[in-house]
Structure 1
Amino acid sequence: MRQTQKVMLAFSEATTSELNEILEHRFFKEKKSPKSKSKTSLSKQQSTAPMSAIKQENSGTKNIYEIIKQMRLERNAPVDLVGPQKCFDQDKDIETQRFQILTSLMLSPQTKDDVTSKCANRLLEYTINDIANMDEPDLIKLIYEVNFNVTKAKRIKDLAQLAIYKGMPKTFEETIKIKGVGEKIALLYIQVAFQRVEGIPIDVNMIRICNRVPIFKEKSPTKLRKFLESQFEHKEWGEINETLVGFGQQICLPKPKCDQCKLKDICEYYKLQNTSDQ
């Protein structure tokens, strides 16, 4: 009990820089639960999120996010215009739409949104049966611009066959078992295809932003997801991915446009770069 009181006192008295140090302290390292057997149950992961205890104490995360939202008012980044979650034909039946959504998301890893969109839109001309029965070399030609096109072609063909014989997955747990689908893709698929927000999908842009400012210094997508979910109400989760990804595509790039950023006065990365240049 005394240990808990000390931790809470530390939070209440901490400055912003001290709070960042506290966040990285071993108090908040994940504890493995001996009863947890499934790696796919997101609800169990959320219920034990190590950052939930600091939700109200750390208001800085929300303030930073609001500033980013101000910089994203135009919503004209690649993710807004041609993001993989937007590449599906709304005139098709619901099962075909779900197949198209997941196919587009599976094409997207390690590939820019405009390239993913170009390839995904080519596939819209084909039915699920067409793709299931297509020779892999022909499928590769349709998606040749994406990285790892050979592997992705095989997995998309497997998905088409799954859709025919078992139907498209309807839950996060079912979706993440598919080869080529990770946590981010599964969460985006469920959000777009079923309008269910079950978590915050984490993108490489988000990891870069959160480590630079910093919002949370962590390279693990799962740990960053848990942290962000502890900071925001569930009703806010649905827009966070697209907001931060677009910011990472337009301003906080690998080579950032710091002169256009409203966060530079508080950004540790900006301060470090400018100090080192002097």
Structure 2
Amino acid sequence: MNLKLMQIYQRLLERFGKQNWWPAETEFEVIVGAILTQASNWNNVERAINNLKSSNLMSAESIRKTDIEEISNLIRPVGYYNEKSRKLKIFVNFLYERYEGNLTKLFELDTEKLRRELLSVWGIGQETADSIILYAANKPTFVIDAYTKRIMSKLGFATEDTTYHDLKKFFELRIPNDIRIYKEFHALLVELGKNYCKVKPRCDICPLNDMCNESTKNV
């Protein structure tokens, strides 16, 4: 276990509290959100999800039976809506063709096999796959996003050349293999990245400013 990483975790937890992420009522809703949030902010994702729910389109079966144009119109708030409606359709078709439309069967796979299966689906990259595995399948895999890469770079744990895989393994080898910690740590880093460690950082009030290599440059 890396004490500094867990010190970061504890400090963020004390400042922000438990995030209880991912906000969703079902496993399928997590998957929809993970696809829709690509290159979009969560407020717009929530609007799109509410539109789908209002039209009773928050199940694999309903998405499968609905015209792609209708789905595109409902998820318009997230941007790239034509592409994302296609991604939803392709994922659902994959689920029915390979697993009889049953998420439980898909999630019975071990973590590495599940990850390979998800990455084989057009429109699902590493961050989306890991989000689905961690938050929908409840299996331990650490999610790396742009916020995490930025924060870890400023803390001296990563560089521009650090790959997604390398940073993911950096966390997984150094923090407890605990799904709850994986979920909370990722969500806490997102909270820090959204509100403090931004492109124009707020270093003076950042809870990690005394640990950060960049904070003295920006105060």
User: For this structure pair, what is the TM-score category when the shorter chain's length is used for normalisation?
Assistant: 0.7 to 0.9
Q: Which range moved further: 102-111 or 129-138?
A: 129-138
Mark the CA change 1:272 to 1:148 in structure 2 (over 3 Å): closer, same or farther: same
Match status 1:66 vs 2:3: no
Measured against aligned partners, the alpha-carbon deviations of 1:49-94 in whole angstroms (never above 9, x if no partner) come to xxxxxx56xx33332333222222264xxxx6xx6x3233xxxxxx
| CA distance, structure 2, for counterparts of residue 101 and residue 264 of structure 1 | 33
Q: How does 1:247-262 map to 2 (within 5 A)?
A: 247-262=192-207
Q: How does 1:42-121 map to 2 (within 5 A)?
A: 59-73=3-17, 75=19, 85-88=22-25, 97-121=26-50
User: Contact 1:115 / 1:146 at 8 angstroms: preserved in 2?
Assistant: yes
Match status 1:215 vs 2:157: yes
State the Cα RMSD in Å. 2.3
User: Contact 1:87 / 1:120 at 8 angstroms: preserved in 2?
Assistant: no
Of 128, 132, 137, the residue aligned with 1:194 is 137
Aligned twin of 2:146: 204
Larger radius of gyration: 1
Letter matched to residue 245 of structure 1: V
| CA distance, structure 1, for counterparts of residue 168 and residue 136 of structure 2 | 21
SS in 2 for 1:185: helix
Q: Which runs of 5+ in 1 are unaligned?
A: 1-54, 89-96
Of 50, 53, 72, the residue aligned with 1:140 is 72
How much does 1:267 deviate? 1.7
Aligned twin of 1:173: 116
Q: Which runs of 5+ in 2 are unaligned?
A: 108-113
User: Contact 1:214 / 1:268 at 8 angstroms: preserved in 2?
Assistant: yes
User: Contact 1:213 / 1:267 at 8 angstroms: preserved in 2?
Assistant: yes
| CA distance, structure 2, for counterparts of residue 99 and residue 266 of structure 1 | 38
Measured against aligned partners, the alpha-carbon deviations of 1:121-155 in whole angstroms (never above 9, x if no partner) come to 32232243332232222211111121321111111
| CA distance, structure 2, for counterparts of residue 272 and residue 161 of structure 1 | 50
Match status 1:182 vs 2:120: no
User: Contact 2:155 / 2:213 at 8 angstroms: preserved in 1?
Assistant: yes
Letter matched to residue 120 of structure 1: I
| CA distance, structure 1, for counterparts of residue 209 and residue 86 of structure 2 | 44
Aligned residues between the structures: 202
Measured against aligned partners, the alpha-carbon deviations of 1:162-186 in whole angstroms (never above 9, x if no partner) come to 3344324322222222111122222
How much does 1:265 deviate? 2.8
Of 167, 170, 174, the residue aligned with 1:227 is 170
Measured against aligned partners, the alpha-carbon deviations of 1:216-256 in whole angstroms (never above 9, x if no partner) come to 33542211111111221212333221111111112212222
| CA distance, structure 1, for counterparts of residue 86 and residue 125 of structure 2 | 16
| CA distance, structure 1, for counterparts of residue 189 and residue 38 of structure 2 | 17
User: Contact 1:87 / 1:121 at 8 angstroms: preserved in 2?
Assistant: no
SS in 1 for 2:77: coil
How much does 1:157 deviate? 1.5
Quote the sequence identity (%): 21
- Segments of 4+ moved more than 4 angstroms: none
| CA distance, structure 2, for counterparts of residue 86 and residue 62 of structure 1 | 24
Letter matched to residue 73 of structure 1: G
Letter matched to residue 159 of structure 1: F
| CA distance, structure 1, for counterparts of residue 137 and residue 61 of structure 2 | 22
User: TM-score, normalising length from structure 1?
Assistant: 0.65
